[in-house]
Chains A and B, each alone.
Chain A
Amino acid sequence: MSAPSTPAPAGDTDGPDTSTPPAGAPPADPSGTGVTPRLASARAVAWARRRKAFADFWRQYRKQPAGLVGLGVLAFIALATVLAPLYTDESELRAVNAPGERLESPSGTFWFGTDEVGRSILLQVIWGARVSLQIGIVAAVLAVGLGTLVGMMAAHYGGWTSWLLMRLTDWFIVLPSLVLAIALVVALGASRFTIIVAIALTSWAGTARLVRAQTMSIEGRPYLERARALGAGHWHQMSRHVLPNLMPLILASATLQVSSAILTEASLSFLGLGDPSTVSWGTILERAFHAGAISYGAWWYMLPPGFAILAVVLAFTLCGRAMETVLNPRLRGAK
């Protein structure tokens, strides 16, 4: 069949085809394993179901070596970032306290050398992770949140609203997003906040389309019809039935979104549109470039932040792909 579309959740009218209910998401199926004759409290049932779903998910995920490597790298970086205050001195990031000489090459004291003021590159890369990750994750969560909202609304309400929302979505999907993001940051002024907003605004549309398709297929399922017949309101249907089913997909989407958000942040910073008052990987590279690291041959100034970006983006991508594979058995099945 039309190949690129098939891996995507089944199309609008296809209804739930076999591949659509993601493996990790049997939870909301009322005829599923969760219902016991003894009628435990609904909440307990739900939780038990979710625990089981998660365990299933993890069992599948574990079989993805690339995903495990990605997860390992992320865990390491997260740990190094969170614990940074314990083993480094943040005040050495200030020019006043620069401990080294100008552009020292790597040595026992400064593993990755120093910058043009004498600050340790390693220290900057460690602290830069905070900003890069923060921007990446917050922007991704915002984008996916917005995308989910728009997608669900478009699917649920249909008609005029749906048409309008989907036009908007298409519009955002089509536009060259970096160009738009640059324009937005320039218009709003560069700061951490505006960068996050610009990234989120230019990257939610893909998720919206995805969520819409998935929502439509979920809403077509019998138990939702039953719920509607029992008088469930929009809010109840959405929050209790549709959203939990969407969750795995949203999660995978968000994971992938983080990696592109980190790359966008780096690109914006490099173009001189980064948040100047903080250190992020992108701003380190920007400074390296403008300080003349290439002419000076200061490779230690450029390689570490670049590899840091590469590692994190790759790790998030691997995790996201592994999650997708778990969710879409067709990909997994191939021998």
Chain B
Amino acid sequence: MGIQPTAQVPALPDGGAGTSGGDDVHLPRQQRAGSRRDFWRFLGVKFSGAMISLVLVLFTAFFIFRVIGGDPVKAIGGDSAMTPEQRAEIEERLGLNEPMSVQFWEYIRSVLTLDWGTSYVNNQQVTDLLLGRLPNTLLLTGTALVLAATVGIWVGARAGWQQGSRFEKSQVGISLALWSAPTFWLGMIVIIVFSVQLDLFPVNGMRSTRGVGDGFWPQFLDVAHHLVLPALTMAAVIYAQYVLIMRSSILEERGNDYLTVAKAKGLRDDVVRRRHAVPNALLPTVTLIALQFGAIFNGALLTETIFSWPGLGLLFYEAIRVPDIPLLQLLFIFFAGTTIIANMLADILYRFLDPRVRSSA
């Protein structure tokens, strides 16, 4: 869901005021005249920055989830009567009786040894849980991302090129409307219309309960069938930012002389757009999209919850209810860590790929 400002900011990128996020992308421009040494310095700055952010995430993950407190014992004991002996046994096993400082050192140790412990609920290694669900989330978000990005960039490019046209206005309108709809609500409506009423797609989950045989293709088709609605819903929500970013990127490009030259050479409008404007506008767009990585997790969280898609978002939602602290910590660190690293890579890659930056380096 594009609800938070990071998602929103690029969703409205053609405004002068509301935009940010592009600040990092600025850096290359200012340092364009820099030398190779500057480039290494730049790498160092970016890398150390990301490391500091990661350490901050590690600390946050401990404190925020310890504050939740809660009583996992109940969640483990079950929904029937519990004896005093049982309660004592569980508390002992989970180490809940230890003082905070001991728990903290335990936590640091687990971080350093990459042994994240077992889930309160499942007695499974939390890393196994994460790895087990990760492919499902990748499938969903990947599909949605590709869908939203291809269509969004294509539409955005056309919209930007034909500024003021009917096409542009209607597309911007649709994007904004999609962006304004709550993800979960959109999901509910999609379920009602396409699953409950029209009976075209399965309602939730990732596979048919009745099984479809062991062959690859039946399995593949089954998953694909289940994927349609969640992927479309998620794509619809993140779609807007691609349209709007690409549109404004193109708007920026349009003012440039080289395009005028290209047109003056007698190239067809379409060709100018496709050959010159779009490739140049694409780089900053893709960079900005990479910077918005965190927004994708937000979307995944809500989409997976509404469609019962067995991915990481759903896992997080389930863990919150317990609360399953080791699992929550790992998921939080994973979400935040992935985003931080994706951001760092986007920054570096941008500087590396931008021809204007590269040539001067």
A residues near B, CB below 8 A? 1-9, 11-14, 19, 22, 143, 167, 170-171, 173-184, 186-188, 202-203, 205-207, 209-210, 213, 248-249, 252-253, 256-257, 259-260, 263-264, 266-267, 270-271, 282, 285, 289, 294-295, 299, 302-303, 306, 309-310, 313-314, 317-318, 320-321, 323-325, 327-328, 330-331, 334-335
Tell me if B224 counts as interface (CB < 8 A to partner A): no
Inter-chain contact total with CB atoms closer than 8 Å: 280
Q: How far is the CA of A316 from the CA of B180 in the complex (A)?
A: 10
In the complex, besides A209-B20, A306-B182, 6 extra interface pairs with C-beta distance below 8 angstroms are A2-B284, A3-B281, A4-B21, A7-B14, A271-B305, A321-B12
Q: How far is the CA of A186 from the CA of B316 in the complex (A)?
A: 12
Question: What are the interface flags for B15-39 relative to A under an 8 Å C-beta threshold, 1 for contact and 0 otherwise?
Answer: 1111111111110111000000000
Q: Chain A nearest CB: distance from B198 CB in Å? A: 14
B residues near A, CB below 8 A? 1-10, 12-26, 28-30, 49, 52-53, 56-57, 64-65, 67-68, 163-164, 176-177, 179-185, 188-189, 191-192, 196, 245, 248-254, 281, 284-285, 287-288, 294-295, 297-298, 301-302, 305, 316-317, 320, 323, 328, 332, 335-336, 339-340, 343, 354
Please classify the interface of chain B as helix (H, G, I), strand (E, B), loop, or mixed, using the class held by over half of its residues.
Answer: helix
Q: How far is the CA of A306 from the CA of B188 in the complex (A)?
A: 10
Q: Chain A nearest CB: distance from B241 CB in Å? A: 11
Q: How far is the CA of A331 from the CA of B298 in the complex (A)?
A: 30
State which of B184, B185, B252 has its C-beta within 8 Å of the C-beta of A1: B252
Contact B68 A186 (CB under 8 A): yes
Q: How far is the CA of A25 from the CA of B300 in the complex (A)?
A: 41
Q: B29 to chain A: which residues have CB within 8 Å?
A: 1-2, 5, 11
With CB as the reference atom, state the residue of chain A lying closest to B23.
A209
Known: A4-B22, A8-B20, A187-B65. A252 touches B6 (CB 8 A): no
With CB as the reference atom, state the residue of chain B lying closest to A212.
B23
Please classify the interface of chain A as helix (H, G, I), strand (E, B), loop, or mixed, using the class held by over half of its residues.
Answer: helix
Q: Chain A nearest CB: distance from B133 CB in Å? A: 15
Q: A257 to chain B: which residues have CB within 8 Å?
A: 5, 8
State which of A7, A186, A203, A267 has its C-beta within 8 Å of the C-beta of B15: A7
| Max chain B Cβ within 10 angstroms of own Cβ: one of A184, A270, A327 | A270
Q: B192 to chain A: which residues have CB within 8 Å?
A: 294, 299
Contact A310 B180 (CB under 8 A): yes
State which of B67, B285, B302, B317 has its C-beta within 8 Å of the C-beta of A4: B285
State which of B16, B189, B343 has its C-beta within 8 Å of the C-beta of A9: B16
Q: How far is the CA of A254 from the CA of B360 in the complex (A)?
A: 39
Known: A187-B64, A266-B182, A325-B15. A176 touches B25 (CB 8 A): no
Q: Chain A nearest CB: distance from B237 CB in Å? A: 10
Q: A334 to chain B: which residues have CB within 8 Å?
A: 163-164, 251, 254
Q: Chain B nearest CB: distance from A254 CB in Å? A: 10
Contact B14 A260 (CB under 8 A): no
Q: How far is the CA of A259 from the CA of B179 in the complex (A)?
A: 10
Q: Chain B nearest CB: distance from A334 CB in Å? A: 5
Contact B164 A263 (CB under 8 A): no
Contact B343 A210 (CB under 8 A): no
Q: How far is the CA of A323 from the CA of B295 in the complex (A)?
A: 25
Contact A3 B249 (CB under 8 A): yes
Q: A2 to chain B: which residues have CB within 8 Å?
A: 22, 25-26, 28-29, 284, 354
Contact B17 A175 (CB under 8 A): no
Known: A4-B287, A183-B328, A186-B320. A309 touches B26 (CB 8 A): no
Q: 26 A-B residue contacts at CB 8 Å?
A: A2-B284, A4-B245, A4-B285, A6-B22, A7-B16, A7-B248, A8-B20, A12-B30, A14-B30, A22-B16, A173-B20, A174-B340, A176-B298, A181-B4, A186-B320, A206-B9, A256-B8, A256-B12, A259-B180, A260-B8, A271-B317, A289-B188, A306-B188, A330-B16, A331-B251, A334-B251
Q: A187 to chain B: which residues have CB within 8 Å?
A: 64-65, 67-68
The 6 closest A-B pairs by CB, nearest first: A328-B16, A324-B15, A177-B4, A5-B22, A263-B3, A3-B249
